[in-house]
Chains A and B, each alone.
Chain A
Amino acid sequence: EAGVAQSPRYKIIEKRQSVAFWCNPISGHATLYWYQQILGQGPKLLIQFQNNGVVDDSQLPKDRFSAERLKGVDSTLKIQPAKLEDSAVYLCASGHEQFFGPGTRLTVL
């Protein structure tokens, strides 16, 4: 069984630029999560989807972050414009037990 796929694995951008991350969950998993993990901290939930509907986005900074899950499968997370404090690893997880992808390490200069 294939795991959760994410791309890119690494991204370096300058502040005020935009960036997008992609996640392909495990086949058949209705639940998909996006997390932000800053070094030394636990993952912080940004948004949770159930199929293509949003279950929880209370911690998503909506002035700059957006996410969608068209057709209830793949998902994209976008940041526009990026700030220095957005430097972190962005993790995607799927399923109730939350199987994680490898993450995208974002550096904002």
Chain B
Amino acid sequence: QKEVEQNSGPLSVPEGAIASLNCTYSDRGSQSFFWYRQYSGKSPELIMFIYSNGDKEDGRFTAQLNKASQYVSLLIRDSQPSDSATYLCAVNTNAGKSTFGDGTTLTVKP
């Protein structure tokens, strides 16, 4: 079992729809959770992070964390073609060790 798992996709949504990206992790000692966006040929860029159970909103993005279920998700509202990218989930343990999933490829169709 991978430490951080994501559906590889591709996930395809129409423009204006909500895109839902999911991530599960195996280490119950994980403390902080990050979502990154990576365009083809570019390096990852931080979208948002979440530390506490519940929802955290930033513009069109909402991160959701459920530590009991070891599950973190990212919702993208009003999806735009420019949101088409690979979305990486990263999980940090209390010791600071960082593990990335392999990413979910999102395509937003005009």
Interface residues of A (CB under 8 A from B): 31, 33, 35, 40-45, 48, 50, 55-56, 89, 91, 96-103
Contact = CB atoms under 8 A, between A and B. Distances in A.
Contacts of B1: none
B99 A40 contact: no
Contact of B102 (A35, A42, A45): A42
26 contacts: A31-B96, A40-B102, A41-B102, A42-B100, A42-B102, A42-B103, A43-B44, A45-B97, A48-B96, A55-B95, A55-B96, A55-B97, A56-B95, A56-B96, A56-B97, A89-B43, A91-B43, A97-B49, A98-B36, A98-B44, A98-B46, A99-B46, A100-B43, A100-B44, A101-B43, A102-B43
A77 to B, nearest CB: 15
A42 B36 CA distance: 11
